[in-house]
């Protein structure tokens, strides 16, 4: 277990609160900057409307939803999703998509009753700003003069990135601070989760990994350190540890194998002088192109750092899966993003109404780690993709299929409009194209009850139809993806675009 007095002297010390330690004064409002809150109205492009967010901060409920097609009788449960839902207050807007307050959705799905609930996570930040009617604390990509004390990362916690269910409890996740527990039926916020007294306020990432036996692994990074968590299927903390990393880096996701935890550390650091001068966090980041990406391999049995390897510089947000062959070789897949895109303001640009995607797309990579020889090899695919998922039964094991949104027939447009299944054994890709007027979000593989074969199940995900100005959930036979959705559930409104989800089967 961690020793609170030695490791939590900087309570809530995360990449976010590193800015607070630079000496930049957040105590009083600062003059307006180009990175400050945006007073201009949101653009009118039909495809971008869900990025506007719900500026009223109000929850939504819809029942008796319209179904197009036939819903599979065995598919019953709740699709939880999370993402930035509120991006404007008092006539001022955030400039970066990642800044918005968390909006958790519950799609209650089945052949008889269909219901959609969306509620904002009542974090300290959201509650205070909702009462004040204005933004009060700093954000990731927008300069916001602090009008209330910021003592740690949970004072800025947006709970806007992902959700998970562990031991029957639902959590909204944000990588810079505590998970927030929600009522799984009503989505009412129950408060920040403390896994152990000595872990209060520690970062708990938005990408935990669940193995087939229900064990949950997670991490958090802060000031060049890596916090590790192992949680059992009942939601009890089994082990935790803090390690020193070979370099400070932005780490969003990781993978587990039967024996290891694997992290990729891109050469992306924080320019403290820029932060002191008042830059937003994203603008204060610097890409060290002459440095390698570090590959950190940790032994699951001891939680000791076992290997550090080097690979060409690359920015990584999301992984699909990983496995080791028992002979010293690890294989994994991830999506590599364009560094210039991240730092040059793509996510700012879409909030300004710019539809065009600039630079290189995010693309799948397949990495092989030879731990005996200390070698790394990487193979690449060319199509644009993100948010990769695998069959949950094969997490940390050898796998064949990866599912992800992709682009089809879009020469220069932001967002995805198709979903694909990639067969790693045959190199074959099966795709369903929703058309140019749709924005496709993450899709999850839900195994059929009683099935054992990898990929035997349904692919379930969400999207936005710009012609109808409505959001939807679509379900596919995962083994016949190109045939199109078996059923589509339509909302009577659009929902702000989100990031990640979790499907919880009904008992």
Residue 500 among known ligand-binding residues: yes
Alpha carbons within 13 angstroms on the beta-carbon side of residue 431 total 17
Q: Which domain holds residue 376?
A: 36-505
Q: With the CA atoms of 276, 282, 283 and 289 taken in that order, what torsion angle do they form, in degrees rounded to the nearest 10?
A: 110
pLDDT of res. 51: 94
Residues in the chain, pLDDT under 50: 1-33
pLDDT of res. 348: 79
Residue 443 among known ligand-binding residues: no
pLDDT of res. 399: 99
CA distance 476 to 489: 12
With respect to residue 12, please indicate whether it lies within any of the assigned structural domains.
Answer: no
pLDDT of res. 503: 99
pTM above 0.75, yes or no: yes
78, two tokens:
């709740």
With respect to residue 466, please indicate whether it lies within any of the assigned structural domains.
Answer: yes
CA distance 189 to 184: 10
101, two tokens:
């307050």
User: Could you write out the DSSP letters of every residue in 312-362?
Assistant: ---EEEEEEEEEE-SSSEEEEEEEEEPHHHHHHTHHHHHHTT-----SPPP
Residue 116 among known ligand-binding residues: no
pLDDT tens digits for 454-489? 999 999 999 999 999 999 999 999 999 999 999 999
Residue 207 among known ligand-binding residues: yes
What's 394's DSSP letter?
A: G
With respect to residue 301, please indicate whether it lies within any of the assigned structural domains.
Answer: yes
Question: Tell me, what CATH number does 413's domain have?
Answer: 2.130.10.10
* Domain count along the chain: 1
With respect to residue 27, please indicate whether it lies within any of the assigned structural domains.
Answer: no
With respect to residue 471, please indicate whether it lies within any of the assigned structural domains.
Answer: yes
Contact 320, 388 (CB under 8 A): yes
With respect to residue 3, please indicate whether it lies within any of the assigned structural domains.
Answer: no
Which residue in this structure is represented by tokens 């180009």? 34
CA distance 261 to 272: 30
Q: Nearest Cα to 88, choosing from 53, 124, 59?
A: 53
């Amino acid at each position: 277990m961690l020793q609170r007095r030695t490791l939590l002297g900087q309570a809530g010390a995360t990449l976010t609160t590193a800015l607070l330690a630079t000496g930049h004064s957040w105590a009083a409002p600062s003059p307006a900057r180009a990175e400050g809150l945006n007073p201009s109205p949101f653009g009118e492009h039909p495809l971008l409307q869900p990025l506007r967010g719900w500026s009223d901060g109000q929850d939504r409920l819809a029942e008796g939803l319209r179904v197009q097609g036939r819903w599979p009788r065995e598919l019953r449960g709740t699709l939880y999703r999370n993402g930035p839902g509120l991006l404007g207050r008092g006539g001022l807007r955030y400039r970066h998509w990642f800044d918005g307050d968390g909006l958790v959705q519950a799609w209650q799905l089945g052949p008889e009753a269909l219901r959609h609930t969306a509620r904002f996570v009542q974090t300290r930040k959201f509650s205070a700003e909702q009462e004040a009617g204005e933004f009060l604390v700093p954000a990731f990509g927008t300069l916001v003069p602090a009008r209330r004390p910021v003592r740690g990362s949970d004072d800025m916690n947006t709970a806007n990135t992902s959700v998970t269910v562990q031991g029957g409890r639902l959590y909204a996740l944000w990588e810079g601070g505590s998970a927030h527990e929600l009522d799984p039926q009503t989505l009412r916020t129950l408060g920040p989760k403390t896994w152990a007294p000595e872990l209060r306020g520690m970062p708990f990432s938005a990408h935990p990994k669940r193995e087939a036996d229900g064990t949950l692994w997670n991490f958090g990074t802060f000031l060049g350190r890596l916090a590790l968590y192992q949680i059992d299927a009942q939601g009890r903390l089994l082990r935790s540890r803090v390690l020193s990393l070979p370099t400070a880096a932005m780490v969003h996701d990781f993978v587990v194998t039967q024996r290891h935890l694997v992290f990729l550390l891109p050469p992306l650091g924080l320019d403290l002088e820029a932060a002191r001068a008042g830059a937003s966090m994203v603008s204060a980041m610097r890409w060290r192109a002459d440095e390698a990406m570090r590959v950190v391999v940790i032994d699951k049995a001891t939680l000791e750092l076992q290997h550090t390897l080097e690979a060409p510089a690359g920015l990584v947000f999301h992984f699909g899966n990983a496995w080791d062959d028992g002979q010293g070789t690890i294989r994994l897949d991830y999506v590599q993003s364009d560094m210039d895109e991240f730092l040059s303001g793509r996510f700012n640009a879409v909030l300004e109404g710019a539809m065009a995607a600039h630079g290189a797309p995010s693309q799948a990579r397949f990495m092989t780690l030879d731990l005996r020889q200390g070698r790394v090899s990487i193979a690449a695919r060319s199509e644009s993709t993100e948010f990769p998922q695998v069959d949950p039964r094969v997490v940390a094991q050898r796998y064949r299929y990866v599912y992800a949104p992709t682009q089809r027939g879009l020469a220069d447009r932001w967002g995805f409009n198709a979903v694909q299944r990639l067969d790693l054994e045959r190199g074959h890709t099966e795709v369903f194209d929703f058309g140019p007027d749709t924005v496709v979000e993450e899709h999850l593989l839900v195994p059929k009850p009683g099935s054992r074969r990898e990929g035997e199940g349904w692919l379930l995900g969400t999207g936005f139809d710009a012609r109808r100005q409505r959001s939807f959930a679509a379900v596919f036979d995962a083994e016949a993806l190109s045939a199109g959705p078996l059923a589509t559930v339509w909302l009577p409104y659009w929902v702000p675009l989100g990031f990640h989800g979790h499907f919880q089967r009904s008992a």
